[in-house]
Amino acid sequence: MSLELSKEIEQPQSQRLSSLLRNQKFLLLWVASIFSGLSFSIYFLTKSWYVVDELGLKTFLGVVLMAMTVPRVLLMMIGGVLADRFRRSTIMFCSLITRSVLLFGMFILQFLGVINIWTLIGFAFCIGILDAFFWPANYAILPSIVKKDHLTRANSFLQSTNHLTLIIGPMIAGWFITITAYEWIFVTIMCLLIIGAILIFRVKEPFDKPETKRLPSPLKDLTEGYSYLRHSPVLLSLMWTSVFVNFFITGPGTMAIPLIVEERLKGDPLELSYLESTIAGGLILGAIMIGIINLRSKRGLLIIIRLTVMGVAIALLGQVASLWQAIFVLAILGMGISIGDIPARAVVQEKTDSDKIGRVMGMMSTASSGLIPLSYGMTSVTLSLNLSISSILLYCGSFVILFSFFVLWKFDKLRSLE
């Protein structure tokens, strides 16, 4: 253990948090994430309810989600290359400001009354393209403004705040849907995006521009990043674990919540907002726990254990018969996500060279997100074949539980990760 790390551990927790909050660039990133997080959560619930309730096309919900995730998957590696070549805050600014333009377009079309399912699919596709450039830059920016031994706590702090927006955002969206027209919700989202873009533009993190001779060769950059990732057993183990979780939990789970509200609970947008907010509450609680502990050992074992917990939770989600049962299960699921994801992200940031972190994050995100469109598609297909969402979630949860035992048995590098 290094002397610097030892001193960090010996510092009082309040002093360590205070030093983080005195970091102006981190504060700008934090406040920007509040506005961008609110914009995303309000947009996501509004879009989902518009498809399920306003258009009455619940089987198309998976298609809309696929339209957003497919371009993200296909272009994420290119986004990673750009994150290593250009200032990451500038990339994030361009993505947010362009999204605000798209939301203005949705406002105009909704005001004219011409939005249909194909319009929503088209906008989802465009937002997916922007996400492909936003997220690698977002994942890669933190190590350039925060010390390495602060990364776990900084990730926990940001994730807690971001997840809080997932509580507030759906509540705002559910309230807006009940009292106002959809076009004014789109205007609200647009304003949040503009504020977030202005704040992130001011971060201006330290950035060493690559030599000009490298710029004409993005393929070489991708090859170099792939080789770096392939020769790291820990990064590969984390990537494949994420792949499995995203296919069997993220896809079906994302689609399940509005369907459970409508089919099993016979609820309304407010009940949907309660459930969306509950999983966010679990995410926050898990993030706070990790931030307080600042875990520096047995992180691999923790990541594996959370797989089992998430498998049980997703299986039980399909069996709920009341609102309080759904709230309890989603809270557990949210905690499991944070307790595994935050240490995993910190490990990647710690163990990846700074000049390759954009590409590594992009490739890992591409691999882990690559099966999400297929997961959405398979869920939509099985729903169209009259298989209930309850059965789908039960099968998915069972597969995740079995996979967690397989990982514990076979992924020795991950199991022994400190």
Q: Model confidence over 157-183: pLDDT tens digits?
A: 887 887 788 778 888 888 888 888 899
Confidence band (pLDDT; 50, 70, 90) for 17?
Answer: low
Domain for residue 15, yes or no? no
Q: Model confidence over 233-285: pLDDT tens digits?
A: 888 888 888 888 888 887 788 888 888 888 888 877 788 878 877 887 888 88
Return the pLDDT at 4.
41
Rounded CA gap, 96 and 75, in Å?
Answer: 17
Return the pLDDT at 129.
92
Burial class of residue 136 (count of CB atoms within 10 Å of its CB; 0-12, 13-18, 19+) = buried
Q: What CATH number did the domain enclosing 136 receive?
A: 1.20.1250.20
Confidence band (pLDDT; 50, 70, 90) for 2?
Answer: very low
Q: Model confidence over 36-90: pLDDT tens digits?
A: 989 998 998 898 888 888 888 877 887 888 888 788 878 888 888 888 888 899 9
Position with higher pLDDT, 386 vs 396: 396
Chain-centre distance for alpha carbon 369: 10
Confidence band (pLDDT; 50, 70, 90) for 215?
Answer: low
Return the pLDDT at 65.
81
Whether 28 contacts 199, CB under 8 Å? yes
User: Which residue has tokens 């459930």?
Assistant: 275
Verdict on whether the full-model pTM lies above 0.85 = no
Q: How many CB atoms lie within 10 A of CB 271?
A: 18
Return the pLDDT at 8.
42
Domain for residue 11, yes or no? no
Domain for residue 304, yes or no? yes
Mean pLDDT confidence for 4-9: 42
Position with higher pLDDT, 221 vs 24: 24
Average the pLDDT over each of 1-5, 173-177, 183-187 and give the range with the smallest value.
Answer: 1-5
Contacts of 216 (CB under 8 A, 6+ apart): none
Q: How many domains does the chain have?
A: 1
Would the pLDDT of 152 be above 90?
no
**In 370-388, alpha helices (H):** 372-384
Mean pLDDT confidence for 117-136: 91
Domain for residue 4, yes or no? no
Return the pLDDT at 6.
42
Return the pLDDT at 103.
94
Rounded CA gap, 229 and 231, in Å?
Answer: 5
| Highest mean pLDDT of the ranges 101-110, 137-146, 359-368 | 101-110
Give Rg (Cα) of the chain.
21
Q: Model confidence over 279-327: pLDDT tens digits?
A: 878 888 888 888 777 666 677 888 888 888 899 999 999 888 888 899 9
Q: What b/e sequence results for 82-103 when a residue is b if at least 16 CB atoms lie within 10 Å of its CB, and e otherwise?
A: bbbbbbbbbbbbbbbbbbbebb
Mean pLDDT of the chain: 82
The domain of 176 spans 21-415
- DSSP 8-state symbol, 322: S
Would the pLDDT of 3 be above 50?
no
Return the pLDDT at 13.
55
Please give the share of the chain, as a percent, with pLDDT higher than 90.
21
Would the pLDDT of 407 be above 90?
no
Rounded CA gap, 246 and 258, in Å?
Answer: 18
Written as one string, the DSSP assignment of 257-310 is HHHHHHHTS---HHHHHHHHHHHHHHHHHHHHHHHHHT--SSHHHHHHHHHHHH
Domain for residue 14, yes or no? no
Return the pLDDT at 58.
79
Return the pLDDT at 196.
95
Written as one string, the DSSP assignment of 268-283 is -HHHHHHHHHHHHHHH
Phi and psi dihedrals of 35, rounded to 5? -70, -45
Nearest by Cα to 146 from 388, 345, 307: 345
Would the pLDDT of 15 be above 70?
no
Return the pLDDT at 366.
75
Position with higher pLDDT, 264 vs 329: 329
Q: Model confidence over 131-141: pLDDT tens digits?
A: 889 988 888 88
Would the pLDDT of 190 be above 80?
yes
Would the pLDDT of 357 be above 60?
yes
The pair of three-digit structure tokens given for residue 215, joined into one six-digit string: 């710029």
Return the pLDDT at 9.
42
Would the pLDDT of 213 be above 60?
no
Q: Calculate the alpha carbon distances from 271 to 2, 262, 274, 287, 364 in Å.
A: 50, 10, 5, 24, 35
The pair of three-digit structure tokens given for residue 154, joined into one six-digit string: 């900084």
